[in-house]
A and B are shown apart, each in its own frame.
Chain A
């Protein structure tokens, strides 16, 4: 099973709202990622978790707050977002082989619209 499950699939939120995106995988992967993708652009890395610890934060604004409660779950907490944050948010996970990360598997994404 190479499935990464993201919920919700669609989310509309106001600029004063607080919401959370959720991601789950059961492949035993210890690296998990959040990417942001705007229309007609490639996925852009936001955060990397390795063994449940935040290892990379690509200068993402503090209105995005990641959390990794355990090795299977990844959350992205959203607060006071701006309309320009509207995008497809993708979660991914990857395993390790020979000390390298193997291929990443992606969820279907959450389409976020900020109004």
Chain B
């Protein structure tokens, strides 16, 4: 069965304190791994798509990387406005390639 596991569940950082979020997956024939940001009460906002091991994508203070078993979302010098829940998702072979999500990492950045 396709599965996505994210860690940690929650992460508290000081402003400027860099860290990484992890997303591990078990899915046969990966057809993309997607990162989203979600603010409370709002829909997920698309951040990155990664298709193959070794691929990297960057956007402002965020950088996503992919290996054959996991993906990392690196946050460099975070600011309070980076506080959100970060969700990782993969297309599911059992659900017509609709996305299945990990449980997310809730990031809190304090000034």
When the two chains form their complex, are residues A45 and B34 in contact, meaning their CB atoms are under 8 A apart? no
Question: Which B15-68 residues have a C-beta within 8 angstroms of A?
Answer: 31-32, 34, 36, 41-46, 49
- How many residues of chain B are within 8 Å of chain A by beta carbon? 25
- Residue B96 contacts which of A6, A43, A56, A105 (CB distance < 8 angstroms)? A56
For B46, list chain A residues within 8 Å (CB): 2, 103-106
For B97, list chain A residues within 8 Å (CB): 100-101
Interface residue range, chain A: 20 to 34
Q: Does A42 contact B (CB under 8 A)?
A: yes
Q: Does B107 contact A (CB under 8 A)?
A: no
Q: CB-defined interface of A21-60 with B at 8 Å, one 1/0 digit per residue?
A: 0000000000101000000011101001010000110100
What's the nearest-Cβ distance from chain A to residue B39, in Å?
10
When the two chains form their complex, are residues B49 and A103 in contact, meaning their CB atoms are under 8 A apart? yes
For B89, list chain A residues within 8 Å (CB): 104
Number of A-B residue pairs with CB-CB distance less than 8 Å in the complex they form: 68
- Residue A42 contacts which of B42, B49, B96, B101 (CB distance < 8 angstroms)? B101
When the two chains form their complex, are residues A103 and B32 in contact, meaning their CB atoms are under 8 A apart? yes
Q: Does A88 contact B (CB under 8 A)?
A: yes
For B104, list chain A residues within 8 Å (CB): 42
For A103, list chain B residues within 8 Å (CB): 32, 34, 46, 49
For B99, list chain A residues within 8 Å (CB): 33, 43, 45, 92, 104
- Residue B43 contacts which of A45, A55, A100, A107 (CB distance < 8 angstroms)? A107
For B95, list chain A residues within 8 Å (CB): 45, 48, 56, 58
For B44, list chain A residues within 8 Å (CB): 43, 90, 106
Given contacts A2-B46, A101-B97, contact A88 B41 (CB under 8 A): yes
- Give the B-binding residues of A (Cβ under 8 A): 2, 4, 6, 31, 33, 41-43, 45, 48, 50, 55-56, 58, 88, 90, 92, 100-109, 111
